[in-house]
Chain A
Amino acid sequence: MTKENRQVDSWEYAPSLESTNHIHIKKRYELFINGEWVKPSSGKYFETINPANEEVISEIAHGNEEDIDRAVKAARKAYTEVWSVMPAAERAKYIYRIARLMHEQARELAVIETLDAGKTIRESRDIDVPLACNHFFYYAGWADKLAYAFPNRKVESLGVAGQIIPWNFPLLMAAWKIAPALAAGNTVVLKPAETTPLTALKLAEIIEASGLPPGVVNIVTGYGDTGAALVNHLDVDKIAFTGSTNVGKIIQKALAGTSKKLTLELGGKSANIIFDDAPIDQAVEGIINGIFFNQGHVCCAGSRLFVQENVAEKVISKLKERLKSLYLGDPLDKNTDVGAINSKNQLETIERYIQLGKNEGAEMYQPACVLPKKGFFCPPTLFTNVAQSSVIAQEEIFGPVLTIQTFRTIDEVIQKANNSPYGLAAGVWTEKGARIFNMANQLNAGVIWANTYNKFDPTSPFGGYKESGFGREGGVHGLAAYVKFI
C-alpha cells in the first residue's frame, strides 16, 4: 500500500522529508589530485542526476588518461616521500581523524548519498554512512599493528593502489577501499562510479580538511575509460575493483602478466534458504531484507529464494502480505522503504529481466503501488513457478526481483544453491543448530548468513568464491589485499 493509495479515515503517515537545507553541493566538481581540486585535462564534465526525480544535481569532471597519470604520479610521490616513511602510529591518527570528521558530517553525507544514488534516507543514514565511518575507525587501529596480522611474516605496503568502486554503496565502498589501503601504508587513486560520484567527492573534502598529506588519496571521477586508464597505468601496484563480473574479468585479463596485485568483488546470485523449522516471520523479514535492501542493488542480495515445500505456501503468502506494508517512493522521505533505481540504464535492465521472467512462464507478483511520475522506480517483484533453468534464476538482475523455488530435501537445496558460477553469499534459516553448521560447511559462498541476512561490519571479512571474485574486504583478512610479504 503506498501513500498515494490511502484509505479514507485511516491513519496514514504524512510525508516526512529529510531536510536538505544543511547540505552543500557545488555546482561543479573538479578532480581531487595531490590535495588540490584540478580541472580535467579534457575540459569535459558530465552531469550527475537524482534518480528519484531526474534533476541534475551537479557537474562532475571527466578524468582521462592524462588525469589518471597525474593522480598516480601524485600518489607515488606521496607514497615515497611521506606516507610510507611516516611512523605507522601517525598514519593511524590521520585515519582516525578522517573517521571522526565523517561522523561529524554524517547527516550531510547521508542526504547527499540519497540524492545521488536513489537509496532511501533510512538506509543511507542508518547503514551506509555509519558503516563507512566505522570502517575508517576500524582500520585506523591496524596501521601500527600489521606485524600481528600475519604470523611469522614480514609485511610491507604495496605502493600505489588503484581502486574502482560501484554505484550501489558509493561512500561505503570508498571506505572499504581507502581505509585498509591507507592503514597498510599505501596511497590511493580512487575512481567512483559515474552515476554516484558525490559522496566520494565529499569524502575528498573531508580528507582535505583532515590535513592528510597531499597525494595520499586522489579521487578521479569519470566513466569506464577513466577506470581503464587506472587499471592499465604502469605505475600502479594494486587494483581493487568492486563491480560486475564482466568488468572484473576484463580487469583480471588486463593485469595478466603484470606484477599488479588484484582483488575483485564481483557479482552474485545468492541463495536464501528457508527450512520448514525456521523462525518463519523473521525468515520472511530476512527475505525482504535480503532482496529489497537498497532496491536489490546489492552484489550479495538473496535473489534466489529456496523454500522447503511443506512451508512454501505459508512463506509465500506471508511474503506477499509483507510486501504490502513496504512504502515505495521518495528516497528522502524517512518512511520510504524502497527508493529509486540508481539509473535509467539499470531500470531498463531490470525491466528487461522482468519481461523475460514473464516470457519464461514464471508467475509474477507485485504489490499494488503507484510509482512516482518522475524518476526511476520499480516495485518489489516476486517470481514463483521458477525453475533452476530459468534465466531469471541464473543471472544477476541487480534489482528488486526475487525468484522463488521450492525444495524437498537438504541435499537438493545444497545442490541447487551451489549450482551457480557465483559464490558470494547464502542465507540459511532453520532452528536446528547442527543443520546450520552443515549448511554453512556445504554452501560454496564467502559469506553465510544463518538466521539473518545482509549484515555487514568492518571487523567481518566479506568476499566471494568462484566468479564472485577473490580477496576479502573487512577484518584482519582484508589487510592481506594491501600488503606484500618480504
Chain B
Amino acid sequence: MKKELQQSIEELISASPTIDKVGVEERVARFQTRSIKGDSKLQALKMGLNMIDLTTLEGKDTPGKVQQMCYKAMHLHDELANLPTVAAVCVYPSMVKIAKSALVNSSVKVASVSTAFPSGQAPLSVKLADTTFAVNEGADEIDMVISRGKFLAGEYDYVFDEIAAIKAACGNARLKVILETGELLTLDNVRKASDLAIYAGADFIKTSTGKIQPAATMQVTFTMLLAIKDYFDKTGKMIGMKPAGGISTAKLAIHNLVMVKEVLGNEWLTNQWFRFGASSLANDILMQIRKLETGVYQSSDYFSID
C-alpha cells in the first residue's frame, strides 16, 4: 500500500492542509442559509431517506430488535407511495446473519461495525478476526474504527497499516473508516485522519461511532468532504462519506446534502457515495414528506418506531 503512495506516511500527513476552524464555521453557516423549497425539498427528503444506514448498536440488541428494524428498513412508511428504502442497516457482527436473512430479496445492504467497535482498543489480530467474521456472515459493508490512541500518539504508520490490513480482510465488502472525530478534537486532526484513511484504502470515511459527542457536526463533515474533494482532484477516484451520529432532523440532513452538492457535486448525491448513519432521522424525514403532501404538521404517534 505504502509503495503505491510513493511517499512516506509522514509526508502524507504533513501534506494535509491546516484547517482554520472559524473559517469552516463560517462556510458551514452559509450552507445552513440555503433555502430548499417545494419539489427541491421533496427530492432532497427522498434522497435523504435512501441514504440512511438504519442503525442499532447496543449491548442489548437482540435478533428480535434487529428483525424489526430490518422490516422498517424495507417498509419505511407504506402509507406513502413511491418511497425508497434506506441504504443499509448497520449492526454488530453478531447480528449480521440475522439482518441478512431478514433483508433477503431487498436491495438494502447489511453493514457491520467491526474492529472492536466502538473503542477499537484491541490487537490487530482480534480486529481482523472480528472483520473476517462479519464478512463471512454476509456483511456487504464494514464500518471499522481507527485507533485514535495511536493516532493521537503520532503513530500514523500503525493507523495506516491497520486500515490497510482491514481493507484486505474485507474482500468485496466496502470499507467505511470511522475516525471518531469527537476524540480527535481538532479539525486539523480530522483532516489528517481523513487523508490517512483515504490513502490506506477506505471506500468511505465516516465521522463517528455515535457513542461520543460531538459526533457528525457539519464542520467535521465539511472538513472530510474537502479531503475527499482533494483526493478526487488528484486521482480521479471517488470516496464516499458517511456522517453518523447527531443527524436526527430532516433539516440537518438537507443542510448536509447542500454541503455535499456544493463541495463535491451532484455525482456524490446517491447512496453509493453518501450515507447518513442515523436511527431517528428516517421518521423525521417521513414526517416532513407527509407534511409536504398534506400541508399538516405531523405527530410521531403516526410513524412506526422500530
Contact = CB atoms under 8 A, between A and B. Distances in A.
Q: Direct A–B touching in the complex (beta carbon < 8 Å)?
A: yes
Interface of A: 7, 10-16, 122, 126, 277-282, 285-286, 289, 317, 321, 325, 334-335, 431, 451-452
B266 A10 contact: yes
A334 B33 contact: yes
Contacts of A325: 262-263
Contact of B19 (A13, A282, A334): A282
Contacts of B226: 281
A285 B19 CA distance: 12
B20 interface: yes
Contacts, number: 67
B22 A452 contact: yes
A200 B37 CA distance: 32
Contacts of A285: 23, 26-27
B40 A14 contact: yes
Contact of B35 (A16, A277, A278): A16
Interface in B188-227: 226
Nearest to B47: A11
Given A7-B266, A277-B18, A279-B20, A16 B37 contact: yes
Contacts of A280: 17
Given A126-B33, A335-B35, A11 B19 contact: no
B266 A282 contact: no
Given A12-B40, A13-B40, A14-B39, A282 B33 contact: no
A328 to B, nearest CB: 14
A402 B268 CA distance: 31
A14 B27 contact: no
Contacts of A279: 17-20, 23
Of listed B35, B38, B263, residue having the most chain A CB within 10 A: B35
Contacts of A15: 37
23 contacts: A7-B266, A11-B40, A11-B44, A11-B266, A12-B40, A13-B34, A13-B35, A13-B40, A14-B38, A14-B39, A14-B40, A16-B35, A122-B33, A279-B17, A279-B18, A279-B20, A282-B23, A282-B27, A285-B26, A286-B23, A325-B262, A334-B34, A335-B34
A477 to B, nearest CB: 24
Contacts of B17: 279-281
Nearest to B17: A280
Given A280-B17, A451-B23, 4 more contacts: A10-B269, A277-B18, A285-B26, A451-B20
A279 B223 CA distance: 12
Given A11-B257, A451-B23, A431 B40 contact: no
Contacts of A334: 33-35
B5 interface: no
B27 A11 contact: no
Contacts of A16: 35-37
B261 interface: yes
A335 B40 CA distance: 13
- Top-6 shortest CB links A-B: A282-B23, A14-B40, A16-B35, A334-B35, A10-B266, A279-B20
B159 to A, nearest CB: 23
Of listed A281, A289, A321, residue having the most chain B CB within 10 A: A281
Contact of A452 (B23, B34, B47, B269): B23
Interface in B24-64: 24, 26-27, 30, 33-41, 43-44, 47
B221 to A, nearest CB: 14
Nearest to B262: A325
Contacts of B33: 122, 126, 334
A11 B274 CA distance: 14
Given A280-B17, A325-B262, A431-B18, A14 B23 contact: no
B271 to A, nearest CB: 13
A11 B261 contact: yes
A394 to B, nearest CB: 29
Nearest to A278: B18
A16 B37 CA distance: 6
B301 to A, nearest CB: 31
A419 B196 CA distance: 43
A26 B305 CA distance: 54
Contacts of A122: 30, 33
Interface string B90-101: 000000000000
A242 to B, nearest CB: 25
A11 B256 CA distance: 13
A192 B17 CA distance: 45
